[in-house]
Amino acid sequence: MGWHSVASWTWDAQDETCGICRMAFDGCCPDCKLPGDDCPLIWGACNHAFHLHCILKWVNSQSAQAHCPMCRREWQFKE
């Protein structure tokens, strides 16, 4: 199985760029012109963050269960 019960919160150690589009999280995805509420960040259950639009495109491009592009765990939206 693996590390399904990792106790520590590791967000601070993550990159500050989106792993899909490589744009900074304080910017927006390539499909948007302005950062902010129209291009929110979304976290997965694995604690990797992406632009919402990027991960939606990613998930939709997967034929079956989507996996996190960063860690290859099954992708589930957090909360």
Query: Is 29 one of the binding residues for Zn ion (CB under 5 A)?
Result: yes
Distance, in Å, from the CA atom of 14 to the CA atom of 25, rounded to the nearest integer, reads: 11
Radius of gyration of the chain (CA): 13
Interface with Zn ion (CB under 5 A), residue total 15
Binds Zn ion (CB under 5 A): choice among 42, 45, 56, 71? 71
Query: Is 49 one of the binding residues for Zn ion (CB under 5 A)?
Result: no
Binds Zn ion (CB under 5 A): choice among 27, 32, 41, 43? 32
Judge contact between 43 and 49, C-beta under 8 A. Answer: yes
Distance, in Å, from the CA atom of 21 to the CA atom of 43, rounded to the nearest integer, reads: 15
Minimum gap (Å) between residue 67 Cβ and Zn ion = 8
Distance, in Å, from the CA atom of 29 to the CA atom of 55, rounded to the nearest integer, reads: 10
Q: Which is nearer to Zn ion, 58 or 64 (CB)?
A: 58
Query: Is 55 one of the binding residues for Zn ion (CB under 5 A)?
Result: no
